[in-house]
Amino acid sequence: MAMTITEKILAQHANLDRVAPGDLIEVKVDRTLANDITAPIAIKVFKQIGVKEVFDKDKVTLVADHFVPNKDIDSAQQVKLMRDFAREQALTHYYEGGDSGIEHVILPEKGLVLPGHLVIGADSHTCTYGALGAFSTGVGSTDLGVIMATGEIWLKVPPTIRVEINGTRKPYVGGKDLILHLIGLIGVEGALYSSLEFAGETVDGLSMSQRLTMANMAIEAGGKNGIFEPDDATLSFVKERSLLNPVIFKSDNGAHYERVIKIDASRLEPQVAFPHSPANVRELSKVGTVAIDQAFIGSCTNGSLEDLQDAAEILKGRHVAPGVRLIVIPGSPLIYKQAIMKGLVEIFLDAGAVIGPPCCGPCLGGHMGILAAGERAIATTNRNFIGRMGHPQSEVYLSNPFVAAASAILGKIGGPDELKGK
Amino acid sequence: MNLTDLNVLKKEEKKRMVRGMKFGGRIWKFGDDIDTDLIIPARFLNVSEGSELAKRCFADLRPDFARSVSKGDIIVAGRNFGCGSSREHAPLAIKEAGISVIIAASFARIFYRNAFNIGLPLIESFDASKELSDGDEASVDLESGIIERSRDGKIYEAKAIPPFMAELIEAGGLVEYTRSRKLKS
C-alpha cells in the first residue's frame, strides 16, 4: 500500500506497517518543546499527572522566546517557573538569554530536529520542521504536559494535500510569497486537519531557509503539518549540525492525495496579505497606496540570516522614510553574530533601524514594537489578525523581507523595483 | 480537599455531562475564523490562571462578554473557530468564563484538541451555527447531539462527538485518561 511521507513517519512512530487517513494512533515522540507562554500550563499538567521525571531529559526542550528579555513581572514569573522546572529535571535543552533565540529558528540551527523525526510542540508554528522532512505539529499545553510524562501522544492520521510548484521565480519572489499565495488560494481553513506536502522543481530549488518559511505557515491554512521530502540540500544542512544519522522517508508513487494543487511560480509577484487575515492576499502591483508607520523584519517565519541578507540588499546605502520605524530582530544569537560579521548590522543601523535581541518581538503584540490605534505595519511575520501586533485598531500587512525593507524606505508598501534611482 | 478528590469530582461532573446532561443558556454569537488572538489577546498571556484569563476573554472583540456572560451560556460561531495559535489559554479563558459548550460550523485543529483535553465540549452543526442568533436561549444534549432553540423549540442535530473524544471526556480529560490508562500499565 503506497503511503505519503507523512503517513510513513507516523506509521514508523506508531510501530505499525501502515496507516491511513482517519486512523487514530499513538506515537512515540522524538522531540517535544514548549515556550515561556505554553510551558507554565504544561508543567502544571505534568505535576498533576503525578510522575516525578520527564520521559527523557534530552528530548524535552524548553525555550524562553516570547516575552523575553522578561517584559514585566508576570512574564518574569512565568520564565522563572520554566527555568526552575528545567533545573529540577536537569533538562539538556533549556534555552534562555544568549543561548536562546526563537524556538523554531534554534531547533534546526542546533541540529535538534532531523529528517524522519516526529516533533510535537506547544506552539502552533511547530510545523516549521517539516522543511527538514520531519513530521511536526503544534498542540496545547495539556497535550504537552502528557507528552513530557509519557513520551507519547494520540494523533489522527491526516489526509494529504500535495502542492506542486513549478516554474522559475521572478526576482524578489521567495518561499514567503509561495506560501502566502497558497493560503490566499485555499483560505485559512483550506488545509484544515490536513497535511500539506510541497513538491515540484521550484520547491527543489529553494534554500532551507525558504523551505522553513513555507512549512512554518502551513498552520495559517489550518494544516496539521507542512512537509518537504529531504534532498541533498536537507542532508547537507543537517550534516553540518548533527552527528546523528537522519532517516529519509519519501512519498511512494501512487500514494493517495486528497487533493493536488498546481502552482505556476513563474507568474507570481511578491505577495502582500492585507488585514486581518493571512489569506487576504494581493499581488504587490495591486496593493495601491498604503502608508506605513512601522516595518518589522524577523520572527520564526523570516528571521534567518538569508532573510536579513535579503533585507540588507535593499537597505544598503538607503535610509528609512521620515516617520517610519524599522525594527530588525535576528532569529538567534548565531544569526545576530553572523549579521554583524557580514556587515548587515551596520547597513541596518545606517538605514535607521532599531535592532532587537533574538526573540519573538512584536509579532504577537508582546513587546518591542507595539502598534497604537490607527497605526499600520508591514511585517515579515505570519499572522495579521485583529490586534495581533498591538491596538485592535492597528493593521498588519504580511510580506517577504525584500518588500518589508523597500516599504520602510518608501514610507508606503512597495517593492524593490520602486526604489530605482532612490 | 486534596488533588485526588478534586479530580474524582471533576470526573463525575464530566461523566454526567456526556451521559445526557443538558446545557442551557444564552447564546453568544460570533462569526467565521474567530482566532485565538481575538479570544484572548497575547498581551494577556503573561499569566496562566484561568480565572484571570476569563476576565480578558474577547477583550477587544466583545468587551462586554466577560462582564455579562453567565455560567452555562453557549457560544455559537461560524467556520474555523479557534484558528491561529496553540495557546490553551483560549479554551481555558472561555471555559472559566462559564461557557458550557461551543457550537460551530467547524473548529481549528489545535483548538479542538485543547478544548476536549481540558473538558470543554465542542459540537459541529452548520445549520445551528447559521440560524441561532445572539441573545437566543438554547439547550444542548451532548449525548444525542440535539440542540433545541428555546423560543420556538426548533431542533438541530449536531454531528456526534467522535467516540475517542467522548472517551476522553468520560475519563475526565486527558490528564485523567493518561493517569488511568498509561501509568498503570
Per-residue pLDDT tens over the stretch A153-162? 999 999 999 9
The superfamily (CATH) of domain B23-168 is Aconitase, domain 4 (3.20.19.10)
For A141, the grid coordinates are 499545553
* Across A359-384, average pLDDT: 97
> What pLDDT, on the 0 to 100 scale, is given for residue A223?
98
Task: Answer yes or no: do A152 and B41 touch at CB < 8 A.
Answer: no
Coil/strand/helix, residue A91: coil
- pLDDT, one tens digit per residue, over B101-139 is 999 999 999 999 999 999 899 999 999 999 999 999 999
Q: Which residues of A touch B6 (CB under 8 A)?
A: none
Q: Indicate the residue type of A383.
A: R
A45, A74, A222: residue with CB nearest B109? A222
Please give the radius of gyration of chain A, using alpha carbons only, rounded to the nearest integer: 21
Q: Which three cell numbers stand for residue A122?
A: 506547544
For chain A, which domains are there? 17-263 (3.30.499.10), 273-419 (3.30.499.10)
- Enumerate the domain spans of chain B: 23-168
pLDDT reported for residue A364: 96
User: Residue B168's pLDDT is what?
Assistant: 81
Residues A392, B60, A361: CA angle, nearest 5 degrees: 50
Average pLDDT value for chain B: 87
> Is the CB of residue B88 less than 8 Å away from at least one CB of chain A?
yes
User: CA of A45: which chain B residue's CA is closest?
Assistant: B175
Q: pLDDT band at A400, cuts 50/70/90?
A: very high
What pLDDT sits at residue A180? 98
Q: DSSP per residue over B113-130, as a string?
A: HHHHHTT--EEE-HHHHH
Average pLDDT, chain A: 97
Q: Is B83 an 8 Å CB contact of chain A?
A: yes
Chain B positions in Cβ-Cβ contact with residue A140 (cut-off 8 Å): 86-88, 91, 110, 113-114, 117
Buried-exposed string B140-168: b where 16+ CB fall within 10 A, e elsewhere? bebeebbbbbeeeeeebebeebeeebbeb
ipTM confidence: 0.93
Among A139, A360, A385, most B C-beta atoms within 10 A, so best to mutate, is A385
The model's confidence at residue B20, banded by pLDDT at 50, 70 and 90, is low
- Rounded to whole angstroms, how far apart are CA atoms A134 and A147? 18
Phi-psi region of A222 (alpha: psi -120 to 50; beta: other; left: phi over 0): left
In angstroms, what separates the C-alpha of A384 from chain B's closest C-alpha? Answer: 10
Residue A199 CA: distances (Å) to CA of A9, A19, A230, B68, B155 = 17, 22, 11, 50, 46
Q: Does B166 touch chain A (CB under 8 A)?
A: no
Helix, strand and coil content of chain B, in percent to the nearest 5, comes to: 40, 20, 40
One-letter amino acid at A61 equals: T
Give how far A160 is from chain B: nearest CA, Å. Answer: 15
SS3 call for B101: strand
User: How many cross-chain Cβ pairs, A to B, lie less than 8 Å apart?
Assistant: 138
Among partner residues B3, B46, B117, which is closest to A142 by beta-carbon distance? B117
Whether the CB of B179 is below 8 Å from some CB of chain A: the reply is yes
Which amino acid does the sequence have at A2? A
Which cell is B75 given?
A: 457560544
